[in-house]
Amino acid sequence: MAGRAFAFWLTNYRRVWRGTIISGFLSPLFFLVAMGFGLGALVDADAGGLGTPGYVEFIAPGILAAQAMQTAVGESTFPVMGALKWQRQYHAMLAAPLGIADIVLGHVAFVAMRVAITSVAFAIVAVALGAITSWWVVAAVLAAVLTGLAFTTPVFAFAARQDNDSGFNVLFRFIVMPMFLFSGTFFPVEQLPAVLEAVAKVTPLWHGVELCRSLVMGTATPAGSLGHVAYLALWVAGGLWLAFASFRKRLVT
């Protein structure tokens, strides 16, 4: 039954996919070119690099994980609140009838597909530009999708409890943007003060960045990779449990 909810969101996406090209693909590509090849030339030449093959190789897997986060959050905020408050697609699905689990899982599966599409597209361009050279990029794409899901389900739970977009402003400005900047995407978190470093390392984005980076740079270990996967999976499972509860409260009681 969840497949029917997924089919609805897929059909809807076929009408609007052109509008997602900039946010889902071009924006991370611009970051890669500007930061990796622009600023990266200065970092490699004047600052001694980061102990890696090059700065662009360092940030490419980080941007892969970060764009997965941004795509997931973008698809899990206004679309969810809109389906509850404005267009009320969820109410129609519940009358179809579909269950709460079907509605949530179908929409989460669609968001996972969106994250996968943007991750594959970015990975292809990063490989073409020479920013990623390892065949482990395939595993890194899967890691990016898992990273996206680690944000999707908690944000679903959060969005289902919102009556206006003020909560989303707080989410984007004080959670998503700081994580994007300070969770290891552009520089090692070890360069942060100790307190901020500890905070960064409990964010799901840091685990996603470290997992993607270690895979494509050949530094991954079984224990380390499994630890990152387990941590991200815990966020997915916990967020899914909260999302079920939030949707049930909003739609049923």
Q: What's the mean pLDDT in 213-231?
A: 96
What is the tens place of the pLDDT at every residue in 155-176? 999 999 998 889 999 999 999 9
pLDDT confidence of residue 225 = 97
Q: What is the number of domains present in the chain? A: 1
In the predicted model, is pLDDT for residue 220 greater than 60?
yes
Question: Count of H helices and E strands in the chain?
Answer: 14, 0
C-alpha–C-alpha distance, residues 253 and 241, integer Å:
17
C-alpha–C-alpha distance, residues 61 and 137, integer Å:
8
Mean residue pLDDT of the chain comes to 89
Q: What's the mean pLDDT in 198-218?
A: 97
SS3 label, residue 54: coil
Burial of 91 (0-12, 13-18, 19+ CB in 10 A): middle
Q: What's the mean pLDDT in 112-134?
A: 91
Q: Phi and psi for 131 in degrees, rounded to 5?
A: -75, -25
pLDDT category at 148 given cuts 50, 70, 90 is very high
Check if the beta carbon of residue 55 is closer than 8 Å to that of residue 44. Answer: yes
Q: What's the mean pLDDT in 180-188?
A: 92
Q: In this predicted structure, which of 44-58, 116-130, 188-202, 203-217 has the lowest mean pLDDT?
A: 44-58
Domain range enclosing 232: 2-251
Check if the beta carbon of residue 191 is closer than 8 Å to that of residue 80. Answer: no
Instruction: List the beta strands (DSSP E) in 3-70.
Output: none
Report CA torsion sign: 50, 54, 56, 61. Answer: negative
Question: Is-cis flag, bond preceding 97, omega within 30?
Answer: yes
pLDDT confidence of residue 33 = 74
Q: Could you tell me the two tokens for 250?
A: 């909003």
Q: Which of 155, 150, 131, 122 is nearest to 228 (CA)?
A: 150
Check if the beta carbon of residue 129 is closer than 8 Å to that of residue 35. Answer: no
Check if the beta carbon of residue 200 is closer than 8 Å to that of residue 183. Answer: yes
C-alpha–C-alpha distance, residues 157 and 166, integer Å:
16
What is the Rg, in whole angstroms, of the alpha carbon atoms belonging to the chain? 19
pLDDT confidence of residue 39 = 63
pLDDT category at 96 given cuts 50, 70, 90 is confident
> Is the pTM of the predicted complex or chain greater than 0.85?
yes
